[in-house]
A and B are shown apart, each in its own frame.
Chain A
Amino acid sequence: MEKLVLGGVEFSSRLFLGTGKFSCNEMMRKAIIASGTNMVTLAMKRVDLNNSEDEMLHHVLADGIRLLPNTSGVRNADEAVFAAQMSREAFGTNWLKLEIHPDPRYLLPDSVETLKATEKLAKMGFIVLPYCQADPVLCRQLEEAGAAAVMPLAAPIGTNRGLQTKDFIRIIIEQAGVPVVVDAGLGAPSHAAEAMEMGASACLVNTAIAVAEDPVAMAEAFAMAVKAGRMAYEAGVAAPVVSGEAVASSPLTSFLND
């Protein structure tokens, strides 16, 4: 299977994992291992002076696991740039999942601010992976602005609704000169497999794994689905017969009668 190269780095797994919503850090750690991922997201928050919490990073840091801090919580490009710089200072990485979603109800990304921030951050040397609308025109613009990948949403964050934006993601994949990572809304391994069969470079999954009854088994199931989907894409998925009429796969010559 062809290895994914993103931001100049080779990834053996095409499944990226979000670390939100796990019941505890230990469960998160086990799911990360089971998924075989090489990259996990994390968010940032202000330190609470009155509470010392279990540090999630201690459960994440491991050889072969790259951190992808996100900018969740910012409302515009300026705030995203500040968050990115804080992230680089805190975690020592210039990789960034850029997410700007000012509307808390649907958490849909603000395309205008995302494009502005991508341009600024790429110039500042960040490896920018913008979470974005499944908009082929926007994805081209993000690429031109310096994005290392584009991460169009399959469906709104945490909805598990699968590839609602399938037709547009197909166009994005066809046009992209950078990896296309399908992010958000993938609720079942079959959704991830479908995205990969279409030619997506990778999938980023969080909720579907974290809230599963058995997150560790689900992480493994997603890993297999992503791998199967990619293998199928590289093997060449058979085209559907437009007419819907059967095409025999066994010889129709009679052998019982003349």
Chain B
Amino acid sequence: MQIEINDQKVICDDGLSLTEVLRSQNVQTDYVAVAVDLTIVPKTEWDGFVVRDGSKIIIIKAVQGG
């Protein structure tokens, strides 16, 4: 399937959970938040959340800022 992560097109296997998608992209998962199609998915639900073809995923993390 093809999905988008932070506006970047990514190809991955069908039926993967959110945890598996993030792992496949080597995403560091400490202190990040993830939204799929603008709905925030709490970390506790990543394992059971199946990512669908065409999903748009946003992952944010902390940066310096005032």
- Point out residues on A near B: beta carbons under 8 Å: 18-22, 25, 28, 41-49, 52, 55-57, 60, 69-70, 72, 82, 85-87, 89-91, 157-158, 204, 206-207, 210
Contacts and interface: CB of A to CB of B under 8 A. Distances in A.
Interface residues of B, number: 28
Interface stretch (B12-20, B30-38, B47-55): B30-38
A43 B6 contact: no
B60 A46 contact: yes
A111 to B, nearest CB: 20
Contacts of B26: 49, 52
B66 A70 contact: yes
A45 B60 contact: yes
Given A47-B6, A89-B42, A207 B61 contact: no
Contacts of B27: 47, 49
A43 B33 contact: no
Contact of B40 (A21, A70, A86, A207): A86
Contacts of B38: 82
Given A20-B66, A57-B31, A46 B58 contact: yes
15 contacts: A18-B66, A41-B65, A43-B63, A43-B64, A44-B63, A45-B63, A46-B7, A52-B26, A60-B62, A70-B66, A82-B40, A85-B40, A89-B34, A90-B32, A207-B66
Contact of B61 (A25, A44, A85, A204): A44
A90 B60 contact: yes
Given A47-B27, A49-B6, A89 B33 contact: yes
Among B25, B35, B60, chain A packs the most CB atoms within 10 A around the CB of B60
A45 B40 contact: no
Among A46, A85, A207, chain B packs the most CB atoms within 10 A around the CB of A46
B64 A21 contact: yes
A87 B65 CA distance: 14
Nearest to B41: A89
B1 interface: no
A70 B33 contact: no
Minimum-distance CB pairs A-B, first 6: A43-B65, A18-B66, A206-B66, A90-B33, A89-B33, A20-B66
Nearest to A71: B65
B8 A49 contact: yes
A160 to B, nearest CB: 13
B39 to A, nearest CB: 10
Nearest to B22: A47
Contacts of B23: none
B58 to A, nearest CB: 7
Nearest to A59: B64
A18 B65 CA distance: 6
Nearest to B65: A43
